[in-house]
Amino acid sequence: MTLKFLKLSLAAAAAATAFVSLPAHAGKTLEAIKARGQVICGVHTGLAGFSQADSAGAWSGLDVDYCKALAAAVLNDATKVKWVPLNAQQRFTALQSGEIDVLSRNTTDTLSRDASLGLHFVATNFYDGQGFLVKKGKVTSAKQLKGAAVCVQAGTTTEKNMADFSRANNLNLKPVVFEKIEAATGAYFSGRCQAYTTDASGLASTRAKEAKDPSEHVILPDLISKEPLGPMVRRGDDEWLAIARWVLFGLIEAEEFGIKQSNVEEMKKSTDPQIGRMLGSTEDLGKHLGLDKEWLARAITATGNYGEIFERNVGSKTALNLPRGKNALWTNGGLMYAPPLR
Amino acid sequence: MIEAQPIPKNKTRSMSWGSREGRGLIYQLVAIAAVAALIWLLVTNTLANMRLRGIQSGYDFMSQPFGFDVSETLIPYDVMSTYWIAFAIGLANTLKVAVLGIFLATVVGTLIGIGRFSSNFLVRKVCYGYVEFFRNVPVYLQLLIWYIVFTDLLPSFDDAWVMGHAYLSKGGLSFPWPVWKTGQSLAVIGLLIALMPSYVYARRARKHFDMTGKNRPVLPVVFSLIVALSLLGWLVGGAPMEWSLPEKGFFQVEGGSSLSPEFMSLLVGLVLYTAAFIAEIVRSGIASVSLGQHEAAASLGLGKRQSMRLVVLPQALRVIIPPLTSQYLNLTKNSSLAVAIGYPELVSIANTTLNQTGRAIEALSIVMLVYLMLSLITAALMNWFNASSAIRER
């Protein structure tokens, strides 16, 4: 081999290197958001009550409100959010690759997701469980579903939970797995499957949105799994993780202290020192997070506290009509317990 | 007389920049090195990034139990079956659709392709309309439409249509199936054994026809040979006569064998779509044989069927087989659209795997490899068939 050949091949390899390089270490999400002027939020493609776009393109829902609160806390403006609808297969890769800053898409916190994907679970914003939706009249309990065909969407914890439940109770359930949620619900309502399974909140949302006669369908009372749903962020940026967690905890703590969307300004004058800390009138907690002292006040003004978010999106006045249940404050018998903001 | 002799070729290959050969060689080596360097950089970059972000990688998940249920499978599995078995189940389901689909699409496509030459006006126009419609609608839409047809038009499970011992409903088509014992396995082995002497006999009958012009009966002999050997295998296995009859349970039919509406709609959709393309390929093959051949065959006294079989088809096959290979590969790959209608083939199982384990790159690389292998095997078989049906020039 001549020297010329070696020189040529080295030159070619060097040229190839110019196109490919290691990107900057993942971190500094807050700086990128401030520079961009926008929070990029990954949401569900369309799940009533959690994240749904209306005909004008405006997004609403429990998960959507969380991102709005986050944008208000970080960027002073709840509208500075870019919404990226994602299906169950794309959601983790979009977050891992840096395409989105936060994934607020009713994702269940599990060990494998928290530990092996390079992602962090932020905190639970909705305690749920997996259930079955069936036509009224034939069965009253999930344990009677022997041999039923069950429609399920691909790529969720649902399939494994259903298999575990089926084996434990000797039910021989037949899963019919679809990629798109509309195909799965369509097959259930057309009668191909005798049951549809997903988180109970998703069942309520589907029944409200797609059933011709919602009273003909019943959600069976057995919840076969624990599904703590909440947002996720990337590993390697603890600063952003802290902001994401404490915005959520702040909204929950605000409900505990009675701070509502309508009375934020009045509450700033309150003599209660804890409220003063939260709203920034006595102490500045925001600087620990890299934000200014009005961070939580802005968030609550934008979306209300956790209870208001719940009532607005999935509460008794909406089509889903979900009771607070496990999502009530700990003082009311539920599981929503925020660590103190101080 | 001076004999013209060719100029002796230069034996040594030159690597210098000066000669055209040398330059060509250098360019090729540089290109190969550049591509190899690019691939190596991409792979190491991806692995480094994944390590940096804490994303676990590797194929070690394949020996873990997969834990989810699959609604239809040719391979039995239990709670401890590993992901290897899961991918095997997906592959078996893909092959089931691909093999049946290729066979049926060829039959339907050939009939429609020949129908375009019919002297009957209605047949000609119907075939034309079929090809134009099924070729031009996207296959994804066609599959969705067939799935809606199968799940909306069929009655619900409670009101299933009963035909003797068979049930047809939204839950699928259930029919009696023999309880599989050694007798049936031996019958299948007998069938396979009978294929070899049948092929040999067919070739010898053909040679005899070439030599003497006398026709030996091929089809009845081959058929009776296959049936006899299968029957013999079945008798040797103890002549098992037990059938598993489907019975209506609470939510599903138990017993017998069944075809799910997902499988049926996928098969029908893919067959009708691919048959439209195959019809055009067959039509072009037959049209490529010049009119002179038909006339020459007629002048030799060959009837219409004989001329088609002995003169037109061998020449048409040369034109038909290469694009037919592409259509077979298309059908195999289009079966991956089954994720949209809920049939658990390879891509659907890989989707579930990558969501449960988080190993997106690994799962997709396995799927890509499998499809590559299937396509290469299909292409190799078709190439062998092409070579064996080529017209041997004298």
pLDDT digits over A100-132, tens only? 999 999 999 998 888 888 899 999 999 999 999
What residues of chain A lie within 8 A of the CB of B344, using their CB?
177
So what's the pLDDT on residue A18?
47
8 Å CB contact of B26 and A8: yes
* Token output for B11: 């034996």
Residue with the bigger pLDDT between B282 and B119: it is: B282
- Contact (Cβ atoms closer than 8 angstroms) between residue A310 and residue A80: no
Query: Among residues of chain A, what percentage have pLDDT more than 90?
Result: 57
Kindly state the average pLDDT of the residues A198-220.
89
- Paired with A229 in beta bridges are A108, A126
**A85, pLDDT greater than 70:** yes
Kindly state the average pLDDT of the residues B274-284.
96
8 Å CB contact of B351 and A179: yes
Q: Which residue of A has its CA nearest to B355?
A: A155
Residues B249-268: tens digit of each pLDDT: 888 888 788 899 999 999 99
Question: Is A242 an interface residue toward B (CB < 8 Å)?
Answer: no
User: B121 vs chain A: nearest CA distance in angstroms?
Assistant: 40
Q: Which of A24-38, A106-120, B147-161, B357-371 has the lowest mean pLDDT?
A: A24-38
Residues B163-206: tens digit of each pLDDT: 888 888 888 888 888 888 888 888 888 888 888 888 888 888 88
8 Å CB contact of B348 and A179: yes
What pTM was computed for the model? 0.80
Question: Is A173 an interface residue toward B (CB < 8 Å)?
Answer: yes
Q: Which of B14-18, B83-87, B209-213, B340-344 has the lowest mean pLDDT?
A: B14-18
Least Cα distance to B342 among A193, A179, A148, A54 occurs for A179
User: What distance in Å separates the CA atoms of residue A288 and residue A290, rounded to the nearest whole number?
Assistant: 6
Query: Among residues of chain B, what percentage have pLDDT more than 70?
Result: 97
Least Cα distance to B215 among B224, B206, B223 occurs for B206
User: A194 vs chain B: nearest CA distance in angstroms?
Assistant: 8
Least Cα distance to B72 among A195, A194, A176, A152 occurs for A176
User: Residues near B287 by Cβ (< 8 Å), separated by ≥ 6?
Assistant: none
Q: Write the residue in B67, B252, B262 that is nearest to A160 by C-beta.
A: B67
Alpha helix segments (H runs only) across chain A: 3-19, 29-36, 62-75, 90-97, 111-116, 158-168, 181-190, 200-210, 238-256, 264-268, 273-279, 286-289, 295-303, 306-314
What residues of chain A lie within 8 A of the CB of B152, using their CB?
190
What residues of chain B lie within 8 A of the CB of A2, using their CB?
15
Residue with the bigger pLDDT between A196 and A180: it is: A196
So what's the pLDDT on residue B328?
95
8 Å CB contact of A174 and B151: no
8 Å CB contact of A175 and B70: yes
8 Å CB contact of A154 and B339: yes
- Going by pLDDT thresholds of 50, 70 and 90, the confidence category of residue A89 is confident
Torsion, Cα A315 A319 A321 A327, to 10 degrees, reads -50
8 Å CB contact of B38 and A16: yes
So what's the pLDDT on residue B178?
83
**B49, pLDDT greater than 90:** no
Residues A20-79: tens digit of each pLDDT: 443 333 348 999 999 999 999 999 998 889 999 999 989 999 999 999 999 999 999 889
8 Å CB contact of B156 and A9: no
The CB density around residue B104, as the number of other CB atoms within 10 Å, is: 18
Average pLDDT of every residue of chain A: 88
What residues of chain A lie within 8 A of the CB of B42, using their CB?
20
So what's the pLDDT on residue B392?
65
8 Å CB contact of A155 and B17: no
**B269, pLDDT greater than 60:** yes
Residue A293 exposed, middle or buried by CB count within 10 Å (0-12, 13-18, 19+): middle
Please report how the helices A62-75 and A29-36 are oriented relative to each other, as an axis angle in degrees rounded to 10.
Answer: 80
So what's the pLDDT on residue A2?
62
User: What distance in Å separates the CA atoms of residue A192 and residue A195, rounded to the nearest whole number?
Assistant: 9
Scan residues 133-162 of A and list those with Cβ closer than 8 Å to B.
Answer: 145-149, 151, 154-156, 159-160, 162
User: B25 vs chain A: nearest CA distance in angstroms?
Assistant: 10
CA atoms within 13 A on the CB side of A100: 25
Scan residues 32-61 of A and list those with Cβ closer than 8 Å to B.
Answer: none
A341: left (phi over 0), alpha (psi -120 to 50) or beta: beta
Residue with the bigger pLDDT between A3 and B113: it is: B113
Q: Write the residue in B70, B344, B355 that is nearest to A89 by C-beta.
A: B355
* Token output for B73: 């499978």
What residues of chain B lie within 8 A of the CB of A5, using their CB?
15, 26, 29-30
Secondary structure string (H, E, C) spanning B156-217? CHHHCEEECCEEEECCEEEECEECCCHHHHHHHHHHHHHHHHHHHHHHHHHHHHHHHCCCCC
Residue with the bigger pLDDT between A20 and A323: it is: A323
So what's the pLDDT on residue A22?
37
Average pLDDT of every residue of chain B: 88
8 Å CB contact of B355 and A160: no
User: B251 vs chain A: nearest CA distance in angstroms?
Assistant: 5
8 Å CB contact of B41 and A147: no
β pairing state of A149-153 and A39-44: unpaired
8 Å CB contact of A96 and B152: no
User: What distance in Å separates the CA atoms of residue A224 and residue A200, rounded to the nearest whole number?
Assistant: 10
Residue with the bigger pLDDT between B183 and B130: it is: B130
- Going by pLDDT thresholds of 50, 70 and 90, the confidence category of residue A4 is low
Residue whose structure tokens are 């129908």: B115
Scan residues 247-306 of A and list those with Cβ closer than 8 Å to B.
Answer: none
